[in-house]
Amino acid sequence: MATLETLRAQRNDSSFEHIIDELLWRGLIALSTDEKELRAALSVGPMTYYCGFDPTAPSLHLGNLVQLLTMRRIQLAGHFPLALVGGATGLIGDPKPNAERTLNTRETVADWVERLAAQNARFLDFEGPFAAKMVNNLDWTSQYSAIDFLREIGKHYRVGKMLAKDSVSARLNSDAGISYTEFSYQILQGLDFLELNRRYNCSMQTGGSDQWGNLTSGSDLVHKVEGKSVHLIATPLITNSDGKKFGKSEGNAIWLDESLTSAYAMYQFWLNTDDSDVIDRLKVFTFLTRLEIQDYAQKVLDEPFRREAQKRLALEVVELVHSKQEALMAETASSALFGSGEIRALDEKTLRNALNALPGIEVQNGTSVIEALVKTGLSESNSAARRAIEQGAVTFNKIKVESVDDQMTDFLHDSMAVLGRGKKNLAALFLVK
């Protein structure tokens, strides 16, 4: 878990005159309300702003981390963040592009609210001079009766405009259609901005660009009801090199909860970042300065094989999400498996997390190396396994297997081992006792 010490060490880049300039350089503004007015509002004094996180899963993921780090940068510029966890909106769920969400139970949503609130608390400073506050939209939404909600809030929305929202129009044009429940989501999110404006004088909301329709729902409602102009910042969707976005809807989520994605698995994820993506990732996901990142950009051009930028990125993000100790342990484990590090020096937890990220099987003590090579898929047949051993290409716990008759008996921590064919093809073995 990121520590208060880590938070207090974070700084914005002093080479930028305004936080908007830094956000633009880091590629964190895809859309916004009037930039000139936004600059002025952020310059005249502390502003209260918010970002919402719906509990539609038991953990936040890297897509959410973009929002948390954007919030943190604005906090470091001298403004007050409100971290909203959607105990009400999480009971409904933002419309997905092609299917109705399965509604979770109230008990499940309440549990996830607590988990997400705890994760938010790791990335924002709740004690400093611009202390963050945690809010839950169930606190005000639950106070409305259905009649009051329709009369006081619903009357400000026009159906034609609601139908034009991207999330709604996509569903209307799909076979699934859209329920009134999910159609109403944008009104609930709009209510959040109105209530936060009333309660905390909140005047800015941040979110992902795919949420722009919901963001404007709130700013429009505040303007209609209170007669005030408020501000919006939308970050771009962060995508993998194959064009897929980070996020659980794509099936490739990297979770911030270690029980779902270990520190080692997260480290490996960042270590495998493409050269074409790594500098943009350093801008978004780290607090390295412009000068430092430009230095890494040159290293990528001059010596890409060293992967210095990827190594720094992996260390920085794992330290941010977990801790410096976990980041260093993940680095050591990666070196032990794929580099020159000593695998026997790894503690049991670190080794298990590393091996869990590999394809693996359970084996009996004394299983032949040939059998294990075939069962793990490292070799397609017994004859191919024999050839690999005879060619000196097979290792057991990073020690070369000398004979086709060798059996596996030396398990690390009496429970696991790593089998290799070549330098990069590895599989985990877990001892059945």
Contact by Cβ (8 Å): 113, 136: yes
Please report the pLDDT score of residue 197 as a whole number: 98
| Architecture per CATH, 4-240 | 3-Layer(aba) Sandwich (3.40)
Amino acid symbol at 429? L
Topology adopted by domain 262-352:
Tyrosyl-Transfer RNA Synthetase (1.10.240)
Q: Where are the domains of the chain?
A: 4-240, 262-352, 358-433
Q: 423 Cβ partners below 8 Å, 6+ apart?
A: 338
Q: 29-33, 170-174, 342-346, 406-410: which range is least confident on average?
A: 170-174
Percent residues over pLDDT 70 in the chain:
97
Q: Is the dihedral of CA 331, 336, 342, 348 positive or negative?
A: positive
Report the mean per-residue pLDDT for the chain: 93
Task: Quote the pTM value.
Answer: 0.91
- Give 173-225 as a DSSP string: TSSS---HHHHTHHHHHHHHHHHHHHHH-EEEEEEEGGGHHHHHHHHHHHHHH
Please report the pLDDT score of residue 94 as a whole number: 86
Please report the pLDDT score of residue 199 as a whole number: 98
3-state secondary structure of 132: coil
Contact by Cβ (8 Å): 76, 267: no
Nearest to 106 by CA among 83, 138, 84: 138
Percent residues over pLDDT 90 in the chain:
85
pLDDT digits (tens, 9 = 90+) for 180-206: 999 999 999 999 999 999 999 999 999
- Decide if domain 358-433 falls under CATH 2.40.10.120: no
CA separation for the pair 266, 353 (Å, rounded): 11
CA separation for the pair 165, 279 (Å, rounded): 33
3-state secondary structure of 80: strand
Q: How many angstroms from the chain centroid is the CA of residue 384?
A: 41
Alpha helix ranges (H) inside 275-404: 275-285, 290-302, 308-321, 324-338, 348-356, 369-376, 382-390
